[in-house]
Structure 1
Amino acid sequence: MKVVAIINHKGGVGKTTLTANLGAGFAARGQKVLVIDLDAQASLTISFFTQSEWTADLLPSRTIKHWFDGIGTDDAMVSPAELVSSPPRVQDKLSRGTGRLDLIAAHRDLTDVETALAAELISDPHQFAALHGRLREALSHKDFAEYDTVLIDCAPNFGLIAKNAVAASDLLLIPTKPDYLSTNGIDSLGLKIRSFVEEYNEHSAVPVERPAAAVVFTMVQNQNGVPIEAQRSVISRIEAREVPTFATTIRDSKSVYGPAPEHGVPVILGGTGRAQTRELRDMVSELSGRLEGIAA
């Protein structure tokens, strides 16, 4: 099983759209995929389930919050697999193949969970590794062994829950819009990740490797099949700094991506945009190749 966190502490760069389509794309290729929504806004969750389905069926007992709440209590013995839900409209699209896409939903109170975990850390700093390794522990559970790929959609911050995703991951995917403001934070995010991994390993008896990281340019404006000149210039500057990047770029297309969450089916499975679907499939192929290059 390979774990990928889709992370950027800047919002509005297409993290959730990319996560949903990558998950569906891997599942369409026959993989068993788990996607995890760590953002209290729950955009990934309601990309697969309606608002009423999330409220009635998932919020009461099947969200990632219930895993964090259960640690250290009798509920910790309950399998985290009981928190998993299968989006029905995606499963219908995948029914002819062997792949599957499952979800652990977000909860609107995840910010309160983060505050509580931070308070717990302040009161007992020796709990650093345990608190930051909770998601890593969950994914090592035997009931998750069947999954080929796990994709984690992080909130646009670098708080304690996002750090849980980093500690659990083999690869960090950093969606970035090719403009000055969006790319300006890449270096600072990299420094924060390195500092966190070093601190985690100082406190943990089982150290983790710093996950590989790479930028994927999203919300790209194309002209004649290539990014517009201003964005090409930004992409070239990032590549010149030898920042790992994906060759595939994801174009900006609100008319194609915008309606998809309402239908509960990502563009890669049921969209109308051929160019967008082709890009997404190329991205799945490129990401798959990178994951194959990461040692088990």
Structure 2
Amino acid sequence: MKAVAIASYKGGVGKTTLTANIGAAIARLGRRVLMIDLDPQANLTFSFYRPETWRTDLADHRRTVKAWFESWRPETTPPPLAGYVTTPSVVNAAVAAGGGTLDLLASHLSLGDIEMDLTARLGGARAHRSTRYYFDVYQRLATGLASFSTYDYDLVLIDCPPNFGVITRAAIAACDHLLIPARPDNLSTLGIEHLMSRLGRFVWEYNRVAGLQSGMHPAVKRLEPRVLGVVLMMVQYYGGRPTSFLRPYIHQASGLGLPVFESMLRVSNRSFAGAAGTQLPAVLSADLPPEVARELISLVEEFLRRVGAASRMAGPSHRPVA
């Protein structure tokens, strides 16, 4: 079971669009995919559930990631994540023919309260990081994912908040890989640089505390997330190429020392803006413009190559991805 965190330090870069379409495309290939919505804006959740359905069927019945975090009690084993996972009906009807499934651990609009609670448990935003509660906080999501059987899911996609707070760091601690969506502009470039700086600091800190507390937490492994790359989103095209205005920013992204996906997604309100209304990601749409369809297919294929699982995720199977 591979776990990939989709993270950015800036909102409005297409993070949810990227997560939903990659997840749906791979589920259509016959794989078992779990998406975890850790963003309090809940855009990924509302891509698959109408707000009224979310309120009555999920929030009121405590079937959200917020409810799972709230179920933790000190010095006790948390309940399995499976009890909080839902299976959106519309998208699963669309991927069922291939034998795949697309499950969701939904977000909550008050998930920010959990962020504050976890920060307080650490001792505050600037607390000494060798506190006894460090791994109680940062290992929570990893512990939740470990409650699944190896055969439950082939891929887990974690949609992180657009910041590097406690919840995002917990997602990093639970993932194998990191995927970074960005727009080809100066602010996104600055956001990537800041994200990577914070990531490097957190990985160093986490591994340092793991060494200091190896006697108390022998099961905690060193954190070594692999950055799959930067995916450029909302690219404007003219004459079959990105506009000349954007090309310097595309080259700028390539100069950050990170891998950049060759595949990019263009601006297409027709394709992406209405996805929430249909509860189907664009990649599953029957009337997708050919150029957008090609870009989505190319992006998913490149994602699979980069995650190192293309051959194993190419068709129906109940074996996990190695």
TM-score norm. by structure 2 comes to: 0.87
CA deviation string 1:103-126 (max 9, x = no partner): 000011110010011111107822
Tell me which of 243, 246, 254 is aligned to 1:231: 246
Deviating more after overlay: 18-27 vs 285-294: 285-294
Paired position in structure 2 for 1:62: 63
Please tell me whether the aligned partners of residues 7 and 178 of structure 2 are also in contact (alpha carbons under 8 angstroms).
yes
Tell me which of 216, 219, 222 is aligned to 2:237: 222
CA deviation string 1:249-284 (max 9, x = no partner): 011111221111111000001152222122111111
> How many corresponding residue pairs?
296
Please tell me whether the aligned partners of residues 41 and 109 of structure 2 are also in contact (alpha carbons under 8 angstroms).
yes
Displacement, 1:2?
0.7
Deviating more after overlay: 125-134 vs 148-157: 125-134
Query: C-alpha separation between the residues in 2 aligned to 1:237 and 1:142?
Result: 40
Paired position in structure 2 for 1:159: 165
Displacement, 1:77?
4.8
Deviating more after overlay: 269-278 vs 189-198: 269-278
Higher helix share: 1
Query: C-alpha separation between the residues in 1 aligned to 2:151 and 2:120?
Result: 32
CA change 1:202–1:241 in 2 (3 A) is closer
Q: CA RMSD in A?
A: 2.0
Please tell me whether the aligned partners of residues 81 and 144 of structure 1 are also in contact (alpha carbons under 8 angstroms).
no
CA deviation string 1:180-214 (max 9, x = no partner): 11111212111100111111122233233331221
Query: C-alpha separation between the residues in 2 aligned to 1:30 and 1:98?
Result: 5
1:255 aligned counterpart, secondary structure:
helix
* Aligned amino acid, residue 243 of structure 2: I
Gaps of 5+ in 2: 215-219, 311-320
CA change 1:55–1:73 in 2 (3 A) is farther
Displacement, 1:53?
1.0
Deviating more after overlay: 17-26 vs 63-72: 63-72
CA deviation string 1:110-163 (max 9, x = no partner): 100100111111078221122011111111113464200000111111100011
Please tell me whether the aligned partners of residues 182 and 232 of structure 2 are also in contact (alpha carbons under 8 angstroms).
yes
Query: C-alpha separation between the residues in 1 aligned to 2:186 and 2:132?
Result: 39
Query: C-alpha separation between the residues in 2 aligned to 1:90 and 1:293?
Result: 23
Tell me which of 150, 158, 161 is aligned to 2:156: 150
Please tell me whether the aligned partners of residues 8 and 189 of structure 1 are also in contact (alpha carbons under 8 angstroms).
yes
Tell me which of 186, 194, 205 is aligned to 2:192: 186
Query: C-alpha separation between the residues in 2 aligned to 1:78 and 1:130?
Result: 15
Q: Map of 1:32-181 to 2, 5 A cutoff?
A: 32-59=32-59, 60-72=61-73, 76-122=77-123, 125-143=131-149, 145-181=151-187
CA deviation string 1:220-249 (max 9, x = no partner): 001122211121111112223432111100
Paired position in structure 2 for 1:212: 226
* Aligned amino acid, residue 113 of structure 2: D
Query: C-alpha separation between the residues in 2 aligned to 1:10 and 1:211?
Result: 20
Please tell me whether the aligned partners of residues 42 and 107 of structure 2 are also in contact (alpha carbons under 8 angstroms).
yes
1:78 aligned counterpart, secondary structure:
coil
* Aligned amino acid, residue 99 of structure 1: G
In the alignment, does 2:320 pair up with 1:290? no
* Aligned amino acid, residue 48 of structure 1: F
TM-score norm. by structure 1 comes to: 0.94
* Aligned amino acid, residue 36 of structure 1: I
1:44 aligned counterpart, secondary structure:
helix
CA change 1:95–1:210 in 2 (3 A) is same
